[in-house]
Structure 1
Amino acid sequence: MSADEGNQWGRRALEFVDAADRLDGPSLIRQFETHIASGGFSAYIMAGLPSPGAGLADLTLANGWPRGWFELYVRENYIAVDPVPRHGATTVQPFEWSEAPYDRKQNRAAHKVMTHATEFGLVRGYCIPLHYDEGGAVISMAGDQPDLDPVAKGAMQLIGVYAHNRIRSLHRPKPQRRLLTSRECEILLWAAHGKTAWEISIILHIAERTVKFHLIEASKKLNAVNRTAAVAKALALGLIKL
């Protein structure tokens, strides 16, 4: 790779990083696909690391695999034997698919996955593992003859990581507006401990009618018919904890 080509990859990666946090999901995916296509990668997937009882469809965050390959992969449960995500679970370093270790003779199932992938144009691939507190993921991309020069791979890593993190943040549930006030939660918590309105008023140094008012308001907000139901709903929603 020439110095000029290396500079181009650097500019592409930095432009993507600069724009990623401002893009919505579809725009981000379009730009990500455009960038990796420039490197000869015709397909990709972003998915969680293999876990017991979870298939690829459950773990997928963004899917750019050929449809037939994805359907075959899911149907045959290839995630259980694929050496690429398995290796991704053991390393923090990006790697080419050919570097994922397995014994062709002893592990024929793994070799079958890699062979079938080539039938869909996924001849050479590059995998970027990600590990975070609550789990991990892989960004795996492939093509017939992708650019696997170290500079290009470095750019793919930067682009892939920022794309994945942005998609994750867009999928993260937005925090809900607090349903109850802190005083309502406090009173419901004491009610959950079996305290009467009068006892709660003594504990909190407020009037008994104020306690009853807050219990009524909390019940309305929770669509509960009485204080017992309000307490049950507040516990179920995690608004109070015993």
Structure 2
Amino acid sequence: MEDLQSAIESIQKAELPENAFHEFRKIIRAYGYENAVFSLITDHPSIRQGAFHGLSTSYPEDWMKHYKQNSYHNFDPVFHRILLKPGAFFWSDAISSLERDSRFTSSLLDRSRSLMQEAADAGLADGIAVSIPNEWGEIAGIGISRPQRETDLDVRALADIQLLSAVLHERYMGCYRSWSPAPLTNREKEVLSWSAEGKSDWEIAEIIGISRATIRFHWNNIFKKLAVNNKTTATVHAIRRKLVVPDALRPFNPL
């Protein structure tokens, strides 16, 4: 990349986590990558957050749901490589690492290869991942992807992505520690709560008894207050920050 310093500064100037992630996404396009994901691979008590795959992501929503529903992290070669070794690596190297790991049976290796093919079919054919541990032993992972596999892998790009990911991680975590969202109204919390239960805008409007236009009005206010740009990210952030608590997460109190 011609002006790496300017790219770094654009991330460092971001005032909110999603802004930093947005700048990072713009930068990786210069390297031929389209999408990115920022995950907390392990629990992060330092920011009062548990492990969470896709805290910020532009990966296809259907793929993210499919990945989580099938607990793919259990045999995802990229996930395991992030846990084992800090630094940046090409996805293709992750499978090679598993093949040399005696703890992985042939059955698990087959499932790992199948997972990578499913990812390719979902438009995530090739990529780079970066494992970033902090001073408390917490591990974050950043991944970038492109829809086609490349045989000629650019090692210089790998070094740049590792540096840019470290900058994103530092800024993202710094923003997360200092960020204090504007308070949500009771109605906005109600919209988020129903969204967390999987309800559509039409269903929420019917349940609450207001128009869909009013629902959109509330979503726009929620986006501004939480500094996000879509409903999925807004709902995730609200749950992680305990601004809303879905029924499925409420403690059971027998009568």
Percent identity over the alignment is: 20
Give CA-to-partner distance per residue, 1:19-48, whole Å, 9 cap, x none. Answer: 322212343232211111221212221112
Q: 1:70 aligns with which of 64, 76, 79?
A: 64
Q: 2:93 aligns with which of 95, 99, 103?
A: 99
In the TM superposition, 1:1-242 aligns within 5 A as: 9-11=1-3, 13-25=4-16, 26-49=18-41, 58-100=52-94, 101-103=97-99, 105-107=106-108, 108-134=110-136, 135-145=138-148, 148-173=153-178
Q: 3-state DSSP class of the match of 2:87? A: coil
Q: TM-score, structure 2 length as denominator?
A: 0.57
Compute the displacement of 1:144 (Å).
2.4
Which runs of 4 or more aligned residues in structure 1 lie more than 6 Å from their structure 2 counterparts after TM superposition?
A: none
Compute the displacement of 1:119 (Å).
0.6
Q: 3-state DSSP class of the match of 1:41? A: coil
Which amino acid is the alignment partner of residue 54 of structure 2? T
Over 3 Å counting, the alpha-carbon distance change for 1:21 and 1:96 in structure 2 is: same
Over 3 Å counting, the alpha-carbon distance change for 1:60 and 1:168 in structure 2 is: farther
Over 3 Å counting, the alpha-carbon distance change for 1:80 and 1:61 in structure 2 is: same
Is the 8 Å Cα contact of residues 11 and 24 (structure 2) preserved in structure 1? no
Give CA-to-partner distance per residue, 1:35-68, whole Å, 9 cap, x none. Answer: 11221212221112257xxxx9834332121111
Q: C-alpha separation between the residues in 2 aligned to 1:85 and 1:37?
A: 23
Q: C-alpha separation between the residues in 2 aligned to 1:28 and 1:130?
A: 16
Is the 8 Å Cα contact of residues 126 and 142 (structure 1) preserved in structure 2? yes
Q: Give structure 1 stretches of 5+ with no counterpart.
A: 1-8, 176-242
Over 3 Å counting, the alpha-carbon distance change for 1:156 and 1:127 in structure 2 is: same
Q: Give structure 2 stretches of 5+ with no counterpart.
A: 44-49, 100-104, 181-255
Give CA-to-partner distance per residue, 1:84-124, whole Å, 9 cap, x none. Answer: 11111111231111111234943222222111100111111
Give CA-to-partner distance per residue, 1:115-173, whole Å, 9 cap, x none. Answer: 11001111111111111133111111111246841222222222121112211111115
Once superposed, what is the RMSD of the aligned Cα atoms?
A: 2.5
Aligned length: 162
Over 3 Å counting, the alpha-carbon distance change for 1:164 and 1:148 in structure 2 is: farther
Q: 3-state DSSP class of the match of 1:126? A: strand
Which amino acid is the alignment partner of residue 136 of structure 1? I
The more displaced of 66-75 and 152-161 is 152-161
Is the 8 Å Cα contact of residues 10 and 155 (structure 1) preserved in structure 2? no
